[in-house]
Structure 1
């Protein structure tokens, strides 16, 4: 298969997860950042400014557009790099190099903001500042992805064993608005760490104190956060005791159902992320998981922001 045929077929939304219009804007957005990083890499290797004229030297086997498309296909289906290399008629190392060039650019883009095409949220502090300015009520949830089991001789092997799934996992925190549009995803930690501990390590307590007008709905995993900030964080109501009156049980069920209905949109956002194969069960190197999750969640947020 020629590179032209590979680009035409693999640029279909089925393979990239993006419409061609959005794919074109993404390529234009990343081009300058890729050129800057490429020039920096070549400058470090040479040790001085380039002496040849611009455009001189050997051509790339994969042009920038093909590099972006190949990276999206790998992110979408978790295909082996050698399989994508066969489709483009290049060596496996060419695809691997392209993925390692483009994936950090995707991860560093941040997350789209509904109604503000030029604005991106990159940190949890950005999310709280945006929510305070726009009056957005947040939804928080933790999600887990199965990962490969560490070697038996490696220290900290048990840190990835999730108490909930009884599997080796990595955990991420997702923040959305009331409509389930992803505003931020990160705080990736080993699966053994509690949801609340992971998000506290990102400084959410300081942010809640700094922005007292920001409110959030969470699940039972963040009940301690709700006790610490009762006017801002709402967790599911506690279950009544066994000898509680029937009307108390009925009121509790109604309140629990109402809170769950208002919070369920963040679960829908998690489901959108997990349409991408690496976030269903990740089989690559664990040190790349954080970058992959940020890249995928950033791409999904662009589509969700248009809703």
Structure 2
């Protein structure tokens, strides 16, 4: 486990965790009791073969478990690297991240004192009540290639980045403040398909009238949501050009001979 000085340095450095010491203190005070309660419930759920207090003690206290999870989420550091950093086994880091991540996910996004958003429906209701414009986009995080023989192994290959990754949909307001981040899934799924699977179409259609800005990856959601999702127009290809424009293009092509053919004729003469 890391020493007190190293732990304090990690907490003070915002570049490492992405959070201020005040926010980390709030997470420790709020998530710590939840983790301890789940841990005790897990111990009580199986028959006890030892006396209370017996057995091996935790080498990784909750603060270190939280810091390891924050570093992993921010920088994508592998469990092996974190294990060397915190002085424990790799399986301990894997177990710690698996326990802390769900607690952070259920906590939601705090946008104001006493206001916390956990679901897409709550986000849409907040945008409608405040009259703000929302922004949605998909983000991808590179992951290690799944083991050979794993089912649906190819689903992790991203068509955009040409690498193994997982994808999440992020919703922010016009000021860039995070309101919602969906659970990650294999990156081969298109952005618009991911949004439909999360129920964004139904939430926007049944919720208050809000305006949500999106990129070209979400083209088509505007018609499904009554114009609530605003996307860039489709690109106009030459085959879809108007008749007058096509005629002008054909006429200019006949009047202007190709440069390659002119140069080859000159070389032959």
- Normalised by the size of structure 2, how large is the TM-score? 0.75
Q: Does 1:110 align with 2:105?
A: no
Residue in 1 that maps onto 2:223: 227
Instruction: Give distance in 2, aligned partners of 1:68 and 1:33.
Output: 12
Question: Counterparts of 1:278-297 in structure 2 under 5 Å?
Answer: none
Instruction: Give distance in 1, aligned partners of 2:183 and 2:89.
Output: 35
Deviation at 1:244, TM superposition (A): 9.0
Residue in 2 that maps onto 1:29: 30
Residue in 1 that maps onto 2:62: 64
Residue in 2 that maps onto 1:16: 17
Cα separation, partners in 2 of 1:12 and 1:197, compared to 1, 3 Å: same
Q: Does 1:216 align with 2:212?
A: yes
* Structure 1 residues without counterparts, runs of 5 or longer: 247-307
Question: Counterparts of 1:1-307 in structure 2 under 5 Å?
Answer: 3-13=3-13, 14-46=15-47, 52=52, 56-57=53-54, 59-113=57-111, 116-151=112-147, 153-186=149-182, 188-239=184-235, 242=241
For 1:59-106, what per-residue CA distance to the aligned partner results, in whole angstroms no more than 9, with x for missing partners?
Answer: 533332232223323333344445444444444444443333322222
Cα separation, partners in 2 of 1:152 and 1:20, compared to 1, 3 Å: closer
Instruction: Give distance in 1, aligned partners of 2:65 and 2:185.
Output: 29
Number of equivalenced pairs: 240
Instruction: Give RMSD over aligned pairs.
Output: 3.1
Q: Secondary structure at the match of 1:45?
A: coil
Instruction: Give distance in 2, aligned partners of 1:15 and 1:182.
Output: 19
Bigger CA radius of gyration: 2
Instruction: Give distance in 1, aligned partners of 2:223 and 2:185.
Output: 23
Instruction: Give distance in 2, aligned partners of 1:119 and 1:142.
Output: 24
For 1:196-244, what per-residue CA distance to the aligned partner results, in whole angstroms no more than 9, with x for missing partners?
Answer: 1111111122112212412211112222111233432211134566559
Instruction: Give distance in 2, aligned partners of 1:164 and 1:37.
Output: 39
Instruction: Give distance in 1, aligned partners of 2:38 and 2:219.
Output: 44
Does the 8 A contact of 2:205 with 2:226 survive in 1?
Answer: no
Instruction: Give distance in 2, aligned partners of 1:20 and 1:184.
Output: 23
* Structure 2 residues without counterparts, runs of 5 or longer: 246-269
Cα separation, partners in 2 of 1:66 and 1:149, compared to 1, 3 Å: closer
- Normalised by the size of structure 1, how large is the TM-score? 0.67
Instruction: Give distance in 1, aligned partners of 2:84 and 2:147.
Output: 31
For 1:265-285, what per-residue CA distance to the aligned partner results, in whole angstroms no more than 9, with x for missing partners?
Answer: xxxxxxxxxxxxxxxxxxxxx
Cα separation, partners in 2 of 1:204 and 1:93, compared to 1, 3 Å: closer
